[in-house]
């Protein structure tokens, strides 16, 4: 065995790594990173395999790991897993990013709805990567800010729509109330007459 072969990684390993680096360019958060930066980042990723209906984490768990979906599909639940799913997470999406900034607990429960492969990166490793490679870090953070802003705008949009709906409902309720009042008034008048 030559010395070079001894030190060089195996071919399958290299292919695997290449695949991973290619995949990372499809993830919105990392699409601006150079190949080298993506390779460095991939060093910190843990590949996790989840079967259908496996719970990734529950609301209230400590914020430790951020996940990127490589394959499969997952559902977000706010309270229990029995309610309606809040959001479907698809490949190249990521979740658990809140933990990067806040020490708070998990705010939702994530359950895989199909067999999924996730790439986990610990919050500390991610923060270290951002510190150690500031150029790559600023790209990631800017992208993350964009994503979070989009989320905020979308949420504001839905919130606005919901508010309009609520106002409509309130108006409707008020109408109903006044009609009821009128009805009961007229009934009273009827009673007095009789």
Closest approach, Cβ 185 to another protein, in A, equals 57
Nearest Cα neighbor of 112 from 49, 175, 26 is: 49
**Looking at beta carbons only, is 29 or 99 nearer to another protein?**
99
- Give the integer Cα–Cα distance in Å for 29 and 136: 11
Task: Dig out the tokens for 84 from the structure.
Answer: 């309606």
Closest approach, Cβ 19 to another protein, in A, equals 15
- Give the integer Cα–Cα distance in Å for 119 and 62: 18
**Looking at beta carbons only, is 30 or 50 nearer to another protein?**
50
* Residues contacting 111, CB < 8 A, separation 6+: 53, 54, 55, 56, 74, 75, 77, 81
**Looking at beta carbons only, is 93 or 105 nearer to another protein?**
105
Query: Burial letters for 107-119: b for 16+ Cβ neighbours within 10 Å, e otherwise?
Result: ebbbbbeeebbbb
Site string for another protein, 164-193 (x = CB under 8 A): ------------------------------
Between residue 66 and residue 125, which ones bind another protein under the rule CB under 8 A? 105, 120, 122, 124
| Under rule CB under 8 A, residue 1 binds another protein | no
Which chain residues interact with another protein by CB under 8 A? 7, 36, 40, 43-44, 46-50, 54, 56-58, 60-62, 64-65, 105, 120, 122, 124, 132-133
């Amino acid at each position: 065995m030559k010395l070079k072969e001894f030190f060089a990684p195996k071919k399958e390993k290299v292919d695997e790594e290449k695949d991973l680096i290619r995949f990372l360019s499809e993830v919105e958060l990392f699409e601006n990173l150079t190949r080298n930066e993506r390779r460095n980042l991939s060093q910190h990723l843990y590949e996790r395999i989840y079967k259908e209906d496996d719970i990734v984490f529950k609301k209230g768990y400590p914020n430790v790991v951020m996940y990127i979906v490589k394959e499969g599909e997952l559902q977000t639940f706010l309270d229990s897993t029995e309610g309606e799913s809040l959001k479907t997470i698809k490949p190249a999406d990521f979740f658990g990013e809140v933990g990067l900034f806040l020490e708070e607990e998990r705010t939702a429960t994530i359950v895989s709805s199909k067999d999924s492969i996730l790439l986990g990166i610990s919050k500390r490793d991610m923060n270290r990567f951002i510190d150690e490679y500031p150029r790559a870090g600023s790209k990631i953070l800017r992208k993350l800010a964009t994503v979070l802003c989009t989320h905020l705008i979308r949420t504001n949009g839905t919130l606005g729509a919901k508010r309009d709906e609520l106002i409509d409902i309130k108006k409707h309720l008020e109408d109903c109330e006044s009609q009821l009042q009128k009805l009961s008034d007229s009934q009273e008048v009827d009673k007095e007459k009789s």
